[in-house]
Amino acid sequence: MVQYEYSVFVPGACFPINRKPITDRPDCRSQESSWHQGLAEDITVTLERFPAPWVTMYLKKYPSLKMREYGFYFASPEDAEVVMEFTKPMDRGSLAKALAGIAQPEEFKLNWLNDQKAIVKLTPPAGGTKTYDLALEGAKDQDGVLVSIPGQIELRVTPDVTLRSINLATGQQTEDISVSGGYGGGVVSPDGSRAVFWELGSSVGDSADYRYWLQDLTSGDKVLLTEGGNPRVKWFPGSDRVQVGNKAFSADGRELKGPLEEKPVIGFALGLDGQIAYMSLREPRENKPNVDLVYLWDGEWKVIEGFSYQLINNNGFPLPMDPAYDPSGEKLAVVQNPAGEEQLQTTSAFILDLKTGEKALLAERALNVFWSPKGDYLAVGKVGGGINILAPTGELVMKLPSHNYLEMVGWTPDGQHLVLKKQEDNKWVTQLIEVSSGKEKKLPGMPLNIDANGLAYLMSK
């Protein structure tokens, strides 16, 4: 408790402190001279201030992930246990009443560990997803002071979804793996043992941050890697490391020192021998491109300053700018925008010889480029839609103008199929296009990579 002393004006008194007396009331006019004689007295009262209690909330299974304002959090029905730790002893009945305002009585069970710590088990109706707003409106401490919650916190309890792998050569499906229904995507490691998944972490206006988990696909155990932004995720060929934007992690989730650390990376490539190339955003300068191309060659970092303007789509959102290594690691395919952030019509794909520094035009009006594993083809996404399959010389091998895809994922390990991610009838579809024949094959589910053994990992959503 904190005590404060105040001098106050009591309603009905004729002598407010530090002000002239009230003279428009008959009972006060006769006392005006008394004011000048200094007969007014300060009235001192003591007010007791009770600080508002704060609450820290987290899922019981993942205590390191503290819930923050304007955050979204996901749990399966089995794991929907929220720990609430308060800074002051609580009025238990008020918390039960607050929970009754966000869930039906049969949907929650409140278990007190002590007056300052409780666990709430949420059990929504079976078969669907339900969102709970953990505002705790009306919850108060034993002094009657309401709990302070700085902003909206949402917990979405959603059933797990299935991750399955299919042998593309034989069509045989392996055992299904259950993963969080809150995942928005992921990338499986080349050896198929682990995956990095992401889920929406927070959203304010047009800005969204994501949360990245590393999950063992055999045991199901997962650890939180990082939060923030929407960085790209790529595994190193040996599956011993994964790059999440400018942060590198070991296969067991430890953050590692890396060359991209704290760099403003907007796209990167990993070579077969561990080479790294990346596009780095610089401070904008008048009439100067704001993206540098940086790559490692012969043990030395090379920088092409002002290589390009950033790619911005028609809605004002930045596009990925990932380079792509050829299998030898001696050449890099890159997209360059020389005219300005909103001038996508001028973008082109080039092949950069890292040894000589020479740059050769591959395709105009290009948005992204993927080099096939054998180095004999490049898939180029075009401004306005469509995909061109090109030889390294720029010769057109195949044109795919009509594919309304959401993302070009890459190539199968044998280089025979291009992999696309699409949505049809509000369901995710993986589309494989055979380069030699143009034949198409569709598989249900969102593609999360194809491992070194030719197993395609598809997540149902």
pLDDT digits (tens, 9 = 90+) for 150-192: 788 999 999 999 999 999 888 888 878 999 999 999 999 999 9
Q: Are 38 and 127 members of one domain?
A: no
69 within a domain of the structure (yes/no)? yes
Q: Is residue 31 over pLDDT 50?
A: no
> Rounded mean pLDDT of 278-306?
89
| Residue 186 domain flag | no
In this model, does residue 407 exceed pLDDT 90? no
Confidence of residue 341 (pLDDT cuts 50, 70, 90): low
How far apart, in Å, are the Cα atoms of 10 and each of 13, 42, 422? 6, 10, 72
Q: What is the pLDDT of residue 175?
A: 76
12 and 88 inside one domain: no
Side chain identity at residue 395, one-letter code: E
pLDDT number for residue 316: 78
Tokens of 344: 């996508």
The whole domain housing 344 covers 166-179+259-459
Reading the block at residue 431, the tokens are: 């589309």
pLDDT of residue 218: 92
In a domain, 62, yes or no: yes
Tokens at 113, concatenated: 């560990």
What's the rounded Cα separation, in Å, for the pair 197 and 192? 14
CA distance 385 to 426: 20
Centroid of chain to Cα 104 = 31
Mean of pLDDT values over 392-410: 84
Query: Is there a single domain that holds both residue 141 and residue 280?
Result: no
Q: What is the dihedral of CA 102, 108, 109, 115, to 10 degrees?
A: -20
pLDDT in tens, 191-238: 999 999 999 999 877 778 999 999 999 999 999 999 987 778 999 999
Residues 402 and 449 in one domain: yes
d(CA 131, CA 125) in angstroms, rounded, equals 11
Cα 343 to Cα 337: distance, rounded to the nearest angstrom? 8
Give yes or no: residues 395 and 299 share one domain. yes
**Which of 54-68, 309-323, 362-376, 441-455 has the lowest average pLDDT?**
309-323
Which comes out higher in pLDDT, residue 49 or 459? 459
Dump the DSSP string for 124-148: PPTTS-EEEE---TT-BBTTSPBPB
- What is the rounded distance in angstroms from the CA atom of residue 414 to the CA atom of residue 435? 11
| pLDDT score of 342 | 64
CA 461/CA 448 separation, integer angstroms = 12
Q: Residues 328, 430: one domain?
A: yes
In a domain, 189, yes or no: no
Confidence band of 278 (pLDDT split at 50, 70, 90)? very high
- Give 40 or 64, the one with higher predicted confidence: 64
Structure tokens at 28: 């006060």
pLDDT in tens, 69-86: 889 999 999 999 999 999
Residue 339 scores a pLDDT above 90: no
Closest CA to 289 of 335, 324, 326: 335
In a domain, 213, yes or no: no
Residue 282 — very low, low, confident or very high, per pLDDT cuts 50/70/90? confident
CA distances from 226 to 210, 247, 253, 254, 344 (A): 9, 9, 10, 11, 32
298 and 340 assigned to the same domain: yes
DSSP secondary structure letter of residue 345? G
Residue 164 to residues 76, 387, 446, Cα–Cα distance (Å) = 19, 28, 10
pLDDT confidence of residue 42: 52
The verdict on 118 and 172 lying in the same domain is no
Q: In Å, how far are 386, 411, 428, 442, 444 from 425, measured between CA atoms?
A: 21, 25, 8, 14, 12
**CA 183, 433, 430: angle at the middle one, nearest 5?**
20
Closest CA to 276 of 254, 252, 300, 253: 300
Q: Which of 12-21, 250-259, 316-325 has the lowest mean pLDDT?
A: 12-21
Q: Which of 433, 446, 447, 450 lies closest to 388, judged by CA? A: 433
User: Could you give the CA distance from residue 334 to residue 278 in angstroms, rounded to a whole number?
Assistant: 10
Q: Are 267 and 332 in contact (CB under 8 A)?
A: no
Q: Note the pLDDT tens digit of each residue in 88-106.
A: 999 999 999 999 999 999 9
- Rounded to the nearest integer, the mean pLDDT of the chain is 86
Task: Give pLDDT, residue 402.
Answer: 67
**Cα(266)–Cα(321) distance, rounded to whole angstroms?**
6
Domain of 97: which CATH number? 2.60.40
DSSP for residue 238: T
Per-residue confidence band for 49, with pLDDT thresholds at 50, 70 and 90 = low
Task: Render pLDDT for 243-268 as a digit per residue (tens, 0 to 9).
Answer: 999 999 999 999 999 999 989 999 99
Residue 416 CB: number of other CB atoms within 10 A? 18
Alpha-carbon distance 376 to 363, whole Å?
Answer: 16
Separation of CA 44 from chain center: 54
32 belongs to a structural domain: yes
> Is 188 inside any structural domain?
no
Please provide the DSSP assignment of 254-286 as one string.
-EE--TTTT--EEEEEE-TTS-EEEEEE---BT
Residue 333 and residue 367 in contact, taking contact as beta carbons nearer than 8 Å: no
Q: In CATH, what number is assigned to the domain containing residue 424?
A: 2.120.10.30
User: CB neighbours of 423 closer than 8 A, spacing ≥ 6?
Assistant: 406, 429
pLDDT band at 289 (very low <50, low <70, confident <90, very high): confident
Helices within 56-204 (DSSP H only): 92-100
pLDDT of residue 47 exceeding 70, the answer is no
Please indicate, yes or no, whether residues 421 and 274 belong to a single structural domain of this protein.
yes
For 82, the enclosing helix (H) or strand (E) is strand 81-86
Total structural domains in the chain?
A: 3
359 touches 352 (CB < 8 A): yes
The last residue of one of the domains, among 104, 126, 157, is 157
Direct distance between the N- and C-terminal alpha carbons of the chain, in angstroms, rounded to an integer: 52
pLDDT computed for residue 34 by the predictor = 42
Distances (CA, A) of 285 to 282, 316, 340: 9, 19, 12
- Residue 307 sits in the same domain as residue 443: yes
- The H or E element spanning position 26 is helix 26-29
* Same domain, yes or no: 13 and 144: no
pLDDT at site 335: 95
Between 346 and 280, name the one with better pLDDT. Answer: 280
Contact between 377 and 389 under an 8 Å Cβ cutoff? The reply is yes
Q: 112 with 99: CB under 8 angstroms?
A: no
What does the pLDDT read at residue 43?
52
Residues 39 and 66 both lie in one domain: no
Q: Quick check: is 190 in a domain?
A: no
With beta carbons less than 8 A apart as the criterion, state whether 423 and 406 touch: yes
